Structure formats: structure tokens, C-alpha cells
């Protein structure tokens, strides 16, 4: 399977701390996406990083991609209780010309006030 796998499965921190989630994948990719899911809701796209980028920022989010290690990380700085959600990495389905993605099982982040 080309499915990305997030690590850790669950993360619990205090408000103001940084949260780091990792994603590992198995085959070569040209991009990786991160999504967020609030409890009982659909997923929302956060950020896309291409294989020729090593780091990308969006507000309090920082994403890195290391294609040699086949891994990516999502860092949320100065976390807030509202960041409590599940976070998923998504990788392209190899050989697909149709825009299909594989999603990992997610990291459940809990931020305590």
C-alpha cells in the first residue's frame, strides 16, 4: 500500500506548546498534502508541499518534506484548544492520472486549555 502512516496516533499537549506530527510513506511521490478533521466532520485541506520543496509555511503551520527518507512532518506552533482535531497526511496514488489520494490513519491531537 502507498498509504502514508502518521505518527504518533495520539498527541496530548497544553495550549501554547508546539505539536509535531509525522508521516511516512512508501513510494516516490511528487507532492504530499495535510488535512485536518474536527470531530464528526469532513476533512479540510491545510497545505500541499511538492517534492521540490523542503519546507512550507502557512500561518502557524510548518510542513517539511524529506523525499530521501520518505517522510513529512507537520508542526503547529503555539497551539490552541481550537487546534484539537485529527490530522491526516495524503499521498497521490501512484500511476493514477485521476487525482486519487491515499490517506493515512491520522494523528488525534488534543490541546488542553
Partner 1 sequence: DVKVTQSSRYLVKRTGEKVFLECVQDMDHENMFWYRQDPGLGLRLIYFSYDVKMKEKGDIPEGYSVSREKKERFSLILESASTNQTSMYLCASNRGLLAGVPDTQYFGPGTRLTVL
Binding site for partner 1 (CB under 8 A): 3, 30-31, 33, 35, 40-45, 48, 50, 88, 90, 92, 96-101, 103-106
> Between 83 and 104, whose beta carbon lies closer to partner 1?
104
Least separation in angstroms between CB 40 and partner 1: 7
Handedness of CA 51, 24, 88, 63 (dihedral sign): negative
- Dig out the grid coordinates for 38 from the structure: 474536527
Q: Which of 33, 72, 29 is nearest to 54 (CA)?
A: 72
Between 3 and 20, whose beta carbon lies closer to partner 1?
3
DSSP code at position 42: -
| Residue (42 or 113) nearer to partner 1, CB | 42
Amino acid at each position: 500500500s502507498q498509504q502514508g502512516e502518521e505518527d504518533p496516533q495520539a498527541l496530548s499537549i497544553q495550549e501554547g506548546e508546539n505539536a509535531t506530527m509525522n508521516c511516512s510513506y512508501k513510494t516516490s511521490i511528487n507532492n504530499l498534502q495535510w488535512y485536518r478533521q474536527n470531530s464528526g466532520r469532513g476533512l479540510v485541506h491545510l497545505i500541499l508541499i511538492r517534492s521540490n520543496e523542503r519546507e512550507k509555511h502557512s500561518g502557524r503551520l510548518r510542513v517539511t518534506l524529506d523525499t530521501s527518507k520518505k517522510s513529512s512532518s507537520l508542526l503547529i506552533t503555539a497551539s490552541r484548544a481550537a487546534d484539537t482535531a485529527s490530522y491526516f497526511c495524503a499521498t497521490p496514488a501512484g500511476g493514477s492520472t485521476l487525482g486519487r489520494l491515499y490517506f493515512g490513519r491520522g494523528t488525534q491531537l488534543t490541546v488542553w486549555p
